[in-house]
Amino acid sequence: MAGSAPTMLEIGRITGPYGINGWLKIHSYTEPMENFLSYGQWHLKRRGGFEPIEFDGGKRHGKGLVAHVKGVDDRTLAESFRGLTVAIPEDALPQLADGDFYWRDLEGLKVHCRNGEEQVLLGEVDYLIETGANDVLVVKSCAGSVDQAERLIPYLPGDTVTRVDLEAGLIEVDWFIEED
């Protein structure tokens, strides 16, 4: 029996060629952006699926990255990579310490808070944003939520975020419900 294909995670997009020697401009989705260069096991997403690609050089350049694909040594060939997405197998991500999570692990979790003695559903994590001081959960209403409000909740484990339970699909927060 053949194994199933690994789950692929998009980590960046090729925005175009850089220079005349086959280098590419990369828009990295990783944080920090240089992590893009450290994963290995890169794959290009094409219509037919994913195909392996090997970067043999890369560095930060301005507000982005530039990288070189092994065997691509001219601008014309580099141009053919424009717009392609770069992905890695999910299992290429490093293991995190207990209590640490990838953002993607938190997206879709139901967010609950206490209102007196009652546990109240605020909504679910739509996405996270980075503010510099701390990350922020963007919580949107969902079926069963207390209201239709969108909430921005600081992701501060041990403070605002009191519990994350991936298996149960929930986050408990120390938050308040606005009264009209």
Give the number of residues written for the chain: 180
The set of long-range contacts for 149-155, using a CB threshold of 8 Å and a minimum separation of 24, is 149/123, 149/178, 150/123, 150/126, 151/111, 151/122, 151/123, 151/175, 153/111, 153/122, 155/106, 155/128
Least confident of 46-55, 82-91, 97-106, 159-168: 97-106
- Write the burial class of residue 168 (CB in 10 Å: 0-12 exposed, 13-18 middle, 19+ buried): exposed
Which residue in 7, 82, 12 sits closest to 49, CA to CA?
7
pLDDT at 108: 95
Task: Tell me, rounded to whole angstroms, the distance of Cα 63 from its chain centroid.
Answer: 18
- Write the burial class of residue 130 (CB in 10 Å: 0-12 exposed, 13-18 middle, 19+ buried): exposed
Judged against a pLDDT cut of 80, whether residue 9 lies above it is answered with: yes
Instruction: Determine the Cα–Cα distance for residues 2 and 5; give it in Å rounded to an integer.
Output: 9
pLDDT at 179: 63
And the tokens for 155?
């992701």
Contact call for residues 66 and 26 (beta carbons, < 8 A): yes
pLDDT at 1: 43
Judged against a pLDDT cut of 60, whether residue 3 lies above it is answered with: no
Instruction: Determine the Cα–Cα distance for residues 121 and 26; give it in Å rounded to an integer.
Output: 40
Which residue in 63, 94, 69 sits closest to 84, CA to CA?
69
Residue-wise pLDDT for 23-43, tens only, equals 999 999 988 889 899 988 999
